[in-house]
Structures are given as structure tokens and as C-alpha cells.
């Protein structure tokens, strides 16, 4: 029997939703509010001890999540429903545990994931939206959705995305993108992208490049040219964090 089991510690997995506006990203940092820090404080409150939380993705400062997945070990004598209620009662209003269950042996939120899906939201209208500003990037001028989708098609498949982001560890910048498409509902545009993994700021930099295409400032072929360049200096600045949300982690 493992030492974890002898101490009565079970392995849990949970799906977390959060508004990342007021946080300096997911990963814990000294003297700065983070989502991981808030989760670990809530766990410490109910156990009177330190509990380490591991996330499926290290979302950046200001980035949101509907389907972040976390894992942790905990000695808990009550039901999983009781644990979920206890955590949500202690978490701030902009973070909630949507689902919680026992994790299978060997499960790791990050390394067990097959893919991650993000959505970037653009509010395409001249007037700003006080209600939408926390969750969408406003672009006042017209956008060519057809051209943006044509440019986005170049992203699908295995590519070296060195132009669009930095690896979180090591030097490997090869990633497989399964989906990269724009949709529209009224004045709101959605960019959905799914990949086996992402580089730091990769989605926001891709969005920025595609918006330049949509505005007619560059040709549709420019995105493929940026991919081929594999040179970070050639990329435009990343789009604002407010529009980005981690929608789902697939296992």
C-alpha cells in the first residue's frame, strides 16, 4: 500500500471555471493573486494543511476559463459532493468548482491531456460595451470573416509555432492544431482553436495576426508566411487577454 493511501489521501480531479480579470494568471506567484493560490487557500481552509494544486494549463494574467482541469491529493472523510460544496463556499465569487470526482490512478491534469480548446471573443462594433469589456476584445472597424478563416486554415496540422509563442519548458515549439475557425453571432466573433498543446501567448498572437488579415492590413498568406519564418520577432503583439477563455481540456 502506498504512503498516500496509508495516510488516507485520495486523488481528486476537478473542473474549474473562473473570471481571470483580477488574477495574475493561474500559476501561483509570491505576493500576487492567482487562481492556483485561491484554490490552495480554499483547500487549506478545510484541511488545516497545505495542499498542492496542479492545473492542466497555465493561463496568463487576465485569461478566463470555463473548463480548466485541476488535480490534488486530499484526506477527506466526507462525500465528493460535500467537498465540492465546501470548496465553493470558501472560493471567491469569480472562481467555482463546476465538477469534482475521484481521479483514476496515474491521472495528471497536464500530461494526461490529449488536447486543449480555447475560444477568443471579439466584439466587432464601434461602441464599447461596459458589460462585455471583461470578456471580449472590441474591434471597431469591419472585419472580413471569410479572409480570416482562409488565413486560419494554414494553422491546422503539425507546425513549428516559434513565431507565435514561447515554450513553457524546453525548446520544442512543434504543435498539432486540430481546429482553427472563426464563427459569428451578431456583432460577436468567436475564434475556436484546439491543439495538443500551446506555447505561451500563442493563441493571442495568432488572433492578433488574423485580425490584421480581417482588417485588410495584410494578405491572407501572411499567416502561413509567419509560420514558415519561425521567428518570434516577426509576430505582432498578442491580442488583449480579456477575450481569451480555456473552454475544455480533453483526455
Question: Which active-site residues does the annotation give?
Answer: 60
H helix or E strand, kind and range, residue 214: helix 202-214
CB atoms within 10 A of CB 31: 5
Residue 103's closest CA among 86, 83, 85? 83
Interhelix angle 202-214/145-152, rounded to 10 degrees, is 140
Residues 6+ apart with CB under 8 A from 233: none
Rg (CA), the chain: 20
Residue from 111, 107, 7, 96 nearest 51 by CA: 7
Angstrom distance (rounded) from CA 224 to CA 251:
29
What does residue 159 show for φ and ψ, rounded to 5 degrees? Answer: -145, 160
Amino acid at each position: 500500500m502506498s504512503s498516500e493511501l496509508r495516510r488516507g489521501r485520495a486523488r481528486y480531479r476537478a473542473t474549474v471555471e473562473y473570471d481571470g480579470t483580477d488574477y495574475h494568471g493561474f500559476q501561483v506567484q509570491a505576493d500576487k493573486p492567482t487562481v492556483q493560490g485561491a484554490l490552495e487557500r480554499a483547500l487549506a481552509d478545510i484541511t488545516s494543511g497545505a495542499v498542492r494544486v496542479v492545473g492542466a494549463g497555465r493561463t496568463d494574467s487576465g485569461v478566463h476559463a470555463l473548463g480548466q482541469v485541476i488535480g490534488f491529493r486530499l484526506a477527506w472523510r466526507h462525500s465528493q459532493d460535500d467537498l465540492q460544496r465546501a470548496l465553493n463556499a470558501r472560493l471567491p465569487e469569480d472562481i467555482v468548482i463546476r465538477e469534482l470526482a475521484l481521479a483514476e490512478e496515474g491521472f495528471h491534469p497536464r500530461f494526461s491531456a490529449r488536447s486543449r480548446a480555447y475560444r477568443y471573443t471579439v466584439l466587432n462594433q464601434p461602441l464599447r460595451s461596459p458589460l462585455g469589456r471583461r470578456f471580449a476584445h472590441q474591434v471597431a472597424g469591419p472585419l472580413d470573416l471569410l479572409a480570416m478563416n482562409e488565413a486560419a486554415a494554414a494553422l491546422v496540422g503539425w507546425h513549428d509555432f516559434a513565431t507565435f509563442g514561447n515554450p513553457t519548458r524546453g525548446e520544442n515549439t512543434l504543435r498539432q492544431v486540430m481546429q482553427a475557425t472563426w464563427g459569428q453571432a451578431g456583432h460577436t466573433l468567436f475564434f475556436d482553436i484546439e491543439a495538443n498543446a500551446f506555447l505561451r501567448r500563442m493563441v493571442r498572437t495568432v488572433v492578433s495576426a488574423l485580425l490584421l488579415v480581417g482588417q485588410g492590413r495584410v494578405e491572407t498568406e501572411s499567416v502561413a508566411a509567419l509560420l514558415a519564418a519561425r521567428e518570434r520577432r516577426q509576430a505582432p503583439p498578442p491580442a488583449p487577454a480579456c477575450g481569451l477563455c480555456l473552454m475544455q481540456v480533453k483526455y
